[in-house]
Chain A
Amino acid sequence: MTTARENSETLSALDRPNSYIGKTVPRPNLDRLMQGRGLYVSDIELPRMAHVVFLRSPHAHAKINGIDASTAKQMPGVIAVVSGSELSTVITPWVGVLSHLKGLKSAPQSAIAVDRVCWQGEAVAAVVASSRAQAEDAAELVSVEYEELDAVTDMRTALDPATAVIHASLGDNLAFERNHDAGAVDQAFAESDEVVEAEFVFGRHTGVTLEPRAVVADWNAAEARLTIYQGTQAPHMVQNIAALHLGLKESQVRVVCKDVGGSFGIKVHIYADEMATYALSKLLRRPIKFVADRVESFNTDIHARDHRCKGKIGVTRDGTITAFEIDDLTGIGPYSMYPRTSAIEANQVVNLVGGPYLTRNYRARARVVFQNKNVMCQYRAVGHPIACSVTEGLVDLAAMKIGMDPIEIRRRNLIADDAYPCASPSGLRFEQLSHHASLAKLIKMMGYDALRAEQTALRAKGIHRGIGIASFIEVTNPSAAFYGVGGAKISSQDGVAVRLDAQGSVICQTSITEQGQGSESLTAQIVGSVLGVSMDRVRVILGDTDITPYGGGTWASRGAGIGGEAALQATKVLRKNILDVAAAVLQSTPGDLDIVNNGVVNAADGTPRIDLSELARIVYFRPDTLPPGIQAEFMATRHFVPREYPFAFTNGVQASWLEVDTDTGFVKLLKHWVVEDCGTIINPQLVDEQIRGGVVQGLGAALFEKCVYDERGQLTNANMADYLVPMSGEMPDIDVGHVVSPTLESELGAKGAGEAGTAGAAAAVTNAVNDALRPFGAIITEIPLTPQVILTALGRI
């Protein structure tokens, strides 16, 4: 690990003896999950619970002329068949817009379609029965009379006057447009020695969580309270939205989020079928379970990417990049998702293109159009893979044009490590990045020169290997600037409460959530380290709006940086409170005492003074023996939100080494390297797992994953046989290195690491494929890079 900027003149709370910070410690929840004692939503069984199956539209766009459920209602086990209009008596529709995305428009969306379906897979009726199988049997007997309408499927013609308008009330199919113009772009291109253009095409794909979306909603009419058990990344957001649309107060809704089998941004949105499940519970006054099956997941879990982005770069002969220009187009489905909207990805593309580089000349247009396909929204590394692939693809094309090595052109154009704070051409503020230190480390890790020599030697034998490099920046630790300022009730702050129990153990409630990334572990590490207790004494409770402090949850690479800092600050207060009482009991002063290994010791020489368990016993059971005026406060709560910077940017660089079989178009990934800078590293193993997992999802996008729609808006590969997720057999070894530039916004100094891997992996692979294909003069700017795409580019088929 390289530490770019030391800030350790003074020892912080993290540098205490036996600190867990920076150490790989096993996750406390591992045994529970490995022994099958996890509790996922589908494990939950409640008395009188019924199962809902949604009858889904087979058409991409159609009017609903009638629904006949009379036969279905007679089927064994059936409790109710509910249409969209019947359900609308208990739940109101919503519109997925935010005020800071100027001009963004969308149409009201209902929990179940009312008169019209707008994508294949939209729910048209809910069948509720005693078991899922019975509900599926009955669903086959509901007959819906559809009148097919023209489907808008091609984003390129969505805005043509001849194309049908999906929502007449909106006037056209344009959901959002953003234009940005900085510096003097035309002049810069005119003064460039070379200007290179390309169109980059990104396949639509989805997140494929191991555990599908799942909800149990339990309306308790006697208490007038709804309990929602749901695998979600943002329990308080769900609480707010459910209450709003069911006409309840937030205090009437409790959201419980136990174990979650992966999320990747798929589970941070409000889905119509989940809203319908809450409403059905209220309507039918009993617990209702909805567990999406795999086909439903493909048809209704948000999709992402699906961009066509034209890009242009100017460069002078000495390798100076003079300007970037992009024109991005994306189709998002028939509605902007609620409540985070579907304009964020395109907006991020505009924000991030050119981000690592010096040039101030940047022009961008992004347009977001409606289509009759499944909804699109934020999935891991929102916008980053697109921005990174476009930027890094253009940089490589420019380098190729002027005959410069891809490393050299980056060296000449990446923002210098000592130039911070500064801003990107799109106006984003950077606190401290380390592009050059990261690149230098990457070159060393991969043995760049030796690889180049190997490449040349193999080329002589007809073996075509390529090296691809991709520098990137990543948005993490978002402040209220992300959603709050636009009017969304999505908290950007998080809270943590810690308390010492009567035997000297610690209970910690945090508002961040755990979906497998290790939130529980990192929280326990911070609390244990700051307090001076061993981790096995720290119990972390997450995911319950009745119990935890109010907060945002875990998304946008924010859990460690924001929730972690709240844990640190809360624990510091608890520590002070404990030492105050200990000093009184021991007739010492707090400054002379410390807590180490679960006991109070002399700060000077470490001599044990009193065990925490003994102190707790006195405080809780014999407070009468404490000196007068001492009231122990063995519970402390603190909240944190970044205020200085809207986002804590991180940075890094990735490299791919691969071989292309030019006869077959198959790509073999040989090795992948990542150097990234997420500031303070709390648990190296968790960070590396985040990076590797993220890279694998990026490699999936690069080579395998794509939701294939036909021209009528039918998703043709909604199953695990035809939709190819990346599997271990095809994955290369992924080496991860770190540069550490802590953020000074928090004492912890941690930035996010959850999306860095995904941000740059596809760009590195595409650049490597083009590097391998150089002797053939073929340039490919489309992912996934399937054998079909590569053979076509090579003119072999």
Chain B
Amino acid sequence: MKASAFAYARATSVADALELLTAHGERAKVLSGGQSLLPAMNLRLIAPELIIDIGALTELRGVVVKEGVLTIGALTCHADLLKSPEIAAHAPLLTDAVAHVAHPAIRNRGTIGGSLAHADPASELPACMLTLGATIIARGPGGERRIAASGFFAGIYETALAPQELLVAVELPVPPKNSTHFFHEFARRQGDYAIVGLAAQAFVRDGRFTDLRLGFFAVGDRPLLARSAGKLVDVAITPAVLAEAASALNDELDPLEDHQATPAMRRHLAKILLARCVSSLLARPELRAGASA
């Protein structure tokens, strides 16, 4: 389990990294936290000729809130997300989600940019980006591009990033005050990738949702912002309404089979999550088992 031989360059600036990327294109790989890249290289699943290490680009690290926008640098590691007071205050969904990403040792190295660029459909952070309406900022030879999260994830390990582009940051609109959230995932062991997960952000008034964004993950080849959430907005939620939303959700899902679950099981668990989410956000325990029948 040794990677094949590769060349290594430690980028000294974003411009330097972009120059290397432009020169080497698909033969190069950006190294961020290395928590997904290096295992793949050691298993010889991929064999890049050049590794461009962006670890020294401190300008890509950190969290800033300005004028209702939370900007997170691509190199910010999961551990920093987890303990960031800005994120806890303005995007607590993300704080909850990151606690489910891997284990402390991996969170100390793995980064948000790496996680989004890697685009594992079972990852927590990509789904959160959909739920929170994030904009992904990429820089390439032609300058900067702003890509809506909804158009960023293109398939298993596939994104809208071009091989010459570097993901530099994400921007999140700070959710309105009184907005609430729910995060839960089913994983076999603490820290494992989810079998099915849900990152939800909602606005509840008088016992009804006035806004509900449901970002599911591990339910298909990319994270899914469920349209069926619409069935729950501006209506009185009854078990029947919930069941209808669950059935609409079922139509939206296209789950994959792997060692942990069949597509049928993923569909089932997604519906359980939906019921638990609605029950929790509305503080109505009787809805918890609602859609599962």
Interface residues of A (CB under 8 A from B): 132-133, 136-137, 140, 293-295, 462, 663-666, 704, 708, 716-717, 719, 721-722, 724, 727, 729-730, 786-788, 791, 796-797
Cα distance, A298 to B269, chains bound together (Å): 30
Chain B contacts with A in 1-44, Cβ cutoff 8 A: 1-5, 43-44
Q: How far is the CB of B230 from chain A (nearest CB, A)?
A: 25
Q: Which residues of A contact B190 (CB under 8 A)?
A: 727, 729-730
Q: How far is the CB of A217 from chain B (nearest CB, A)?
A: 21
Q: Given B44, B191, B259, B268, which contacts A797 in the complex, CB threshold below 8 Å?
A: B268
Cα distance, A133 to B292, chains bound together (Å): 52
Known: A708-B259, A724-B188. 18 other contacts (CB 8 A): A133-B3, A136-B4, A137-B4, A140-B4, A295-B43, A663-B292, A664-B272, A665-B265, A716-B259, A719-B43, A727-B189, A727-B191, A729-B189, A729-B190, A787-B260, A791-B265, A796-B268, A797-B262
Q: Given A294, A462, A721, A786, which contacts B1 in the complex, CB threshold below 8 Å?
A: A294
| CB pair B260 A730 closer than 8 Å | no
Cα distance, A708 to B261, chains bound together (Å): 13
Q: Which of A293, A295, A786, A797 has the most chain B CB atoms inside 10 A of its CB?
A: A797
Cα distance, A729 to B259, chains bound together (Å): 21
| CB pair B189 A724 closer than 8 Å | yes
Q: Which residues of A contact B191 (CB under 8 A)?
A: 727, 729
Q: How far is the CB of A295 from chain B (nearest CB, A)?
A: 7
| CB pair A704 B188 closer than 8 Å | yes
- Confirm or deny: B195 has a beta carbon within 8 angstroms of a beta carbon on chain A: yes
Q: Which residues of B contact A717 (CB under 8 A)?
A: 259
Q: How far is the CB of B94 from chain A (nearest CB, A)?
A: 22
Q: Given A136, A294, A295, A788, which contacts B262 in the complex, CB threshold below 8 Å?
A: A788
- Confirm or deny: B186 has a beta carbon within 8 angstroms of a beta carbon on chain A: yes
- Confirm or deny: B147 has a beta carbon within 8 angstroms of a beta carbon on chain A: no
Contact with A along B249-293 (1 / 0, CB 8 A): 000000000011110110011001000000000000000010010
| CB pair B272 A293 closer than 8 Å | no
| CB pair A787 B259 closer than 8 Å | no
| CB pair B261 A787 closer than 8 Å | yes
| CB pair B189 A132 closer than 8 Å | no
Interface residues of B (CB under 8 A from A): 1-5, 43-44, 186, 188-193, 195, 259-262, 264-265, 268-269, 272, 289, 292
Q: Which of A664, A717, A788, A796 has the most chain B CB atoms inside 10 A of its CB?
A: A664
| CB pair A797 B1 closer than 8 Å | no
Q: How far is the CB of B168 from chain A (nearest CB, A)?
A: 29
Q: Which residues of A contact B188 (CB under 8 A)?
A: 704, 724, 786-787
User: Closest residue of chain A to B193, judged by CB?
Assistant: A721
Q: Which residues of B contact A133 (CB under 8 A)?
A: 2-3, 5
| CB pair A797 B272 closer than 8 Å | no
Q: Given B4, B189, B265, B292, which contacts A788 in the complex, CB threshold below 8 Å?
A: B265
Known: A663-B289, A663-B292, A787-B261. A704 touches B189 (CB 8 A): yes
Q: Which residues of A contact B262 (CB under 8 A)?
A: 788, 797
7 smallest CB-CB distances across A and B, nearest first, come from A729-B190, A293-B1, A133-B2, A797-B264, A797-B268, A797-B265, A663-B272
Q: Which residues of A contact B189 (CB under 8 A)?
A: 704, 724, 727, 729-730
User: Closest residue of chain A to B275, judged by CB?
Assistant: A663
Cα distance, A730 to B268, chains bound together (Å): 23
| CB pair B261 A788 closer than 8 Å | yes
A-B contacts, CB under 8 A, total: 64
Cα distance, A729 to B190, chains bound together (Å): 6
Cα distance, A14 to B193, chains bound together (Å): 52
A-B contact pairs, 8 of them (CB 8 A): A133-B5, A136-B1, A665-B265, A721-B193, A727-B189, A787-B188, A788-B261, A788-B265
Q: Which residues of B contact A665 (CB under 8 A)?
A: 265
Q: Which residues of A contact B43 (CB under 8 A)?
A: 295, 719
Q: Which of A294, A719, A730, A788 has the most chain B CB atoms inside 10 A of its CB?
A: A788
Known: A730-B190, A787-B261. A137 touches B292 (CB 8 A): no
Q: Given A666, A716, A727, A796, which contacts B186 in the complex, CB threshold below 8 Å?
A: A666
| CB pair B2 A136 closer than 8 Å | yes
| CB pair A137 B186 closer than 8 Å | no
| CB pair B2 A132 closer than 8 Å | yes
Q: How far is the CB of B80 from chain A (nearest CB, A)?
A: 22
| CB pair B268 A791 closer than 8 Å | yes
Q: Which residues of A contact B1 (CB under 8 A)?
A: 136, 293-295
Known: A132-B2, A730-B189. A787 touches B265 (CB 8 A): yes
Q: How far is the CB of B280 from chain A (nearest CB, A)?
A: 14
Cα distance, A38 to B3, chains bound together (Å): 27
Cα distance, A238 to B255, chains bound together (Å): 50
| CB pair A137 B5 closer than 8 Å | yes
Cα distance, A708 to B5, chains bound together (Å): 32
| CB pair B186 A664 closer than 8 Å | yes
Q: Which residues of A contact B192 (CB under 8 A)?
A: 724
Cα distance, A140 to B45, chains bound together (Å): 13
Cα distance, A108 to B96, chains bound together (Å): 57
Q: Which residues of B contact A140 (CB under 8 A)?
A: 4, 44
Q: Which residues of B contact A708 (CB under 8 A)?
A: 259
Q: How far is the CB of B190 from chain A (nearest CB, A)?
A: 4
Cα distance, A142 to B292, chains bound together (Å): 54
Q: Which residues of A contact B44 (CB under 8 A)?
A: 136, 140
| CB pair A664 B2 closer than 8 Å | no
Q: Which residues of B contact A137 (CB under 8 A)?
A: 4-5
Cα distance, A686 to B73, chains bound together (Å): 49
Cα distance, A587 to B143, chains bound together (Å): 99
Cα distance, A730 to B192, chains bound together (Å): 12
Q: Given B4, B186, B193, B264, which contacts A787 in the complex, CB threshold below 8 Å?
A: B186
Cα distance, A137 to B3, chains bound together (Å): 9
Q: Which residues of B contact A721 (CB under 8 A)?
A: 193
Q: How far is the CB of A792 from chain B (nearest CB, A)?
A: 8
Q: How far is the CB of B7 from chain A (nearest CB, A)?
A: 15
User: Closest residue of chain A to B42, judged by CB?
Assistant: A293
Q: Which residues of B contact A462 (CB under 8 A)?
A: 289
Q: Which residues of A contact B195 (CB under 8 A)?
A: 787
Q: Which residues of B contact A716 (CB under 8 A)?
A: 259
Q: Which residues of A contact B261 (CB under 8 A)?
A: 787-788
Q: How far is the CB of A788 from chain B (nearest CB, A)?
A: 6
User: Closest residue of chain A to B186, judged by CB?
Assistant: A664
Q: Which residues of B contact A786 (CB under 8 A)?
A: 188, 260
Cα distance, A719 to B193, chains bound together (Å): 14
Q: How far is the CB of B91 from chain A (nearest CB, A)?
A: 26
Q: Which residues of A contact B260 (CB under 8 A)?
A: 786-788
Q: Which residues of B contact A666 (CB under 8 A)?
A: 186
User: Closest residue of chain B to A76, judged by CB?
Assistant: B5
Q: Which residues of B contact A722 (CB under 8 A)?
A: 259
Cα distance, A133 to B269, chains bound together (Å): 43
Cα distance, A664 to B190, chains bound together (Å): 16
Q: Which residues of B contact A797 (CB under 8 A)?
A: 262, 264-265, 268
Q: Which residues of A contact B265 (CB under 8 A)?
A: 665, 787-788, 791, 797
